[in-house]
Structure 1
Amino acid sequence: MEITAIMLSQLLRQQAFFVKPRERVMRTGTVRKFLAPICFLILLPSVSFAQGKGACTQTQLGDPPRIVYRCESGLVVEAEAAAALQIEGQQDQNRPGEMRLDSDAALIEVKPGNGPFQILTPHAIAAVRGTIYAVDVHDDMTSVFVVRGGVSVSRPDGSDTVLLGPGQGVNVSDGQPLVVTTWPQARVASLMARFGR
């Protein structure tokens, strides 16, 4: 179970660790006065701080460093910590309909039956309805790989659409045809290792 900052705050208030009024200090003694900061520092490394972003929460993970966006309706986007990722369009009140990824990689899981979702990059659009896939953006190319399900990939203007199935990937760059290939296990392992898998 993940503990968010709000849950931690409520827990500490319930346990009277926050010492605000002078009367409480007199009643609880000085032990609790010093216990609160110590408990907070001990719990800090294991706490996932959630930050609202539309209808999504943001959690930071380590080893390797990455940020997980969990949205209602079953959308999970796990991005490398250095990734330039922005929520672009709100598909409905439950989750965004698209995100923009301008650098590094993101692993995306979209549960079937929850409407369309797409990742926009400088080189490609990767659109899905229910799948797990990865998008890796470099200066001159975007690579898309499908773990499960299906993904349509096109150029930013919507041209040259290709369909990817499980184990398949495509590299999208200016002036080069979009060629769907089955990725070798070494390339898949290298990409998935960036998400701790």
Structure 2
Amino acid sequence: MGVIVRAACVAFACWLFAVQMAAAQPANMGCATESPANAPQTLRCEGGVTIVAENGARFTLQDRDGNGRVDSAELSSKALLLEVPKKQGGNRFQVTTPQAIAAVRGTKWTVDAAEGKTSIFVVNGRVAVGRRTGSHSVTLGAGEGVDMDVMGPLTVKRWPAARVAALMARLGQ
């Protein structure tokens, strides 16, 4: 029994350390955190990138080109709302989930990762969405979304207002 309790304590300490590291990470990539009580976390990053994370969202920010600015996120659960300004050339900002890769140049969109499924919705602009494995992709425009699982087709749909409102409410919008 003592071994189990010690293992649980070690696991909790590791989890706590990882959470603290994730919270500290945005400052290292040119992002400032705005977190009003009981509201989703908002990160305002250099280059005009804004990321709103649903309470409890699990994600990491990345700097793929090594310039010190966030240019991608790996999302494993819950939702992010992203606003990325249009820029000339360079890498597209992308969000990767277990099922999908969504990449943009200048838009506002959401990515919602749940076990076995990723949903992507575009508020404005355009987003290219594809599977992590495979080459098939679709492009979403304003008001459109796609629900992806491991095997099903990538079917672009106009999302009903009630679904959009429910997702945006989770993100404090």
**Fold in common (TM above 0.5):** yes
1:75 counterpart (28, 49, 69): 49
Larger radius of gyration: 1
- Counterpart in the other structure of 2:113: 137
What's the TM-score, normalizing by structure 2? 0.79
Q: Name whichever of 109-118 and 183-192 sits farther off.
A: 109-118
- Counterpart in the other structure of 2:93: 117
* Structure 2 residue ranges without an equivalent (≥5): 1-25
Structure 1 position 67, deviation (Å): 1.2
Going from structure 1 to structure 2, the CA distance change for 1:181 and 1:62 (only over 3 Å counts) comes to: farther
What SS is found at the alignment partner of 2:27?
Answer: strand
Percent identical residues = 42
Going from structure 1 to structure 2, the CA distance change for 1:156 and 1:168 (only over 3 Å counts) comes to: same
> Is the 8 Å Cα contact of residues 135 and 142 (structure 1) preserved in structure 2?
yes
Structure 1 position 158, deviation (Å): 5.0
> Is the 8 Å Cα contact of residues 29 and 63 (structure 2) preserved in structure 1?
no
**Structure having greater relative contact order (Cα 8 Å, sep ≥ 6):** 2
Structure 1 position 91, deviation (Å): 3.4
What's the RMSD between the two structures over aligned residues?
Answer: 1.8
| Deviation digits for residues 101-130 of structure 1 (CA, Å, limit 9, x no counterpart) | 100000000011164200010110010000
Give aligned pairs, total: 147
2:73 counterpart (99, 116, 120): 99
Going from structure 1 to structure 2, the CA distance change for 1:71 and 1:180 (only over 3 Å counts) comes to: same
* Structure 1 residue ranges without an equivalent (≥5): 1-50
| Deviation digits for residues 19-58 of structure 1 (CA, Å, limit 9, x no counterpart) | xxxxxxxxxxxxxxxxxxxxxxxxxxxxxxxx61311122
Distance 1:83 1:53 in 2: 19
Structure 1 position 92, deviation (Å): 4.9
What's the TM-score, normalizing by structure 1? 0.70
